[in-house]
Chains A and B, each alone.
Chain A
Amino acid sequence: QKEVEQDPGPLSVPEGAIVSLNCTYSNSAFQYFMWYRQYSRKGPELLMYTYSSGNKEDGRFTAQVDKSSKYISLFIRDSQPSDSATYLCAMSQAGTALIFGKGTTLSVSS
């Protein structure tokens, strides 16, 4: 079992839809959880960062961490065509580097 699992999609939604992106993981020692967004032919850029469990909201984006289920989510409200990208989850434990999911490709049509 890979340490981080992420459904690659692709996921296609109409503009204005609510999008849910998810990752599961197997290492209960993970404490730091991040979501990166990657546009075509560009490097990933940090979108959201959460430490341990709970929710974090930033504008249209909400990140959730459920450590008991080893499950993290990213919600995008009122999705826009500019949200079309690949979303990668990433996580780590103390003293180790990030481990990335394979990424989910999202397409938002106008």
Chain B
Amino acid sequence: DAGVIQSPRHEVTEMGQEVTLRCKPISGHDYLFWYRQTMMRGLELLIYFNNNVPIDDSGMPEDRFSAKMPNASFSTLKIQPSEPRDSAVYFCASSGGQVNNQPQHFGDGTRLSIL
């Protein structure tokens, strides 16, 4: 059974460019989470969806960040315009059942560098 699939694995781009990160959750999972991981701040929840609907986006740092989930098998996280401080590893995770007590399955992340 395929796990959570993220693309691209690495992205290097210049400040001001639009960045789109993609995620395919595990089939049958109805929760999808986007995280950002840095040395300074650890793993931070940006936004999560339940049945394709955004439930909590309080972790989205600013209006430059947006996330969509057009269907149960695909989600995007977009940064426009990108800034050097957005450099981090971005993870997508999915889970079934309830939001608080089911294991989350993570992808291998997108390593983003903004020059």
Contacts from A to B (Cβ < 8 Å): 31-32, 34, 41-46, 49, 51, 88, 92-103
Contact = CB atoms under 8 A, between A and B. Distances in A.
A103 B42 contact: yes
Nearest to A46: B103
Contacts of B103: 34, 46, 49
A97 B48 contact: yes
Residue among A32, A96, A102 with the most chain B CB within 10 A?
Answer: A102
A87 B78 CA distance: 29
Interface in B89-110: 91, 93, 98-101, 103-109
Interface of B: 4, 33, 41-43, 45, 48, 56, 91, 93, 98-101, 103-109, 111
A94 B42 contact: no
A34 B43 CA distance: 14
Nearest to A95: B100
A43 B4 contact: yes
Contacts of B100: 31-32, 92-98
Contacts of B4: 43
A46 B42 contact: no
A94 B107 CA distance: 25
30 contacts: A31-B101, A42-B109, A43-B93, A43-B106, A43-B107, A43-B109, A45-B106, A46-B103, A46-B104, A46-B105, A49-B101, A51-B101, A88-B42, A88-B43, A93-B100, A94-B100, A95-B99, A96-B99, A96-B100, A97-B56, A97-B99, A97-B100, A98-B45, A98-B100, A98-B104, A99-B45, A100-B45, A101-B42, A103-B42, A103-B43
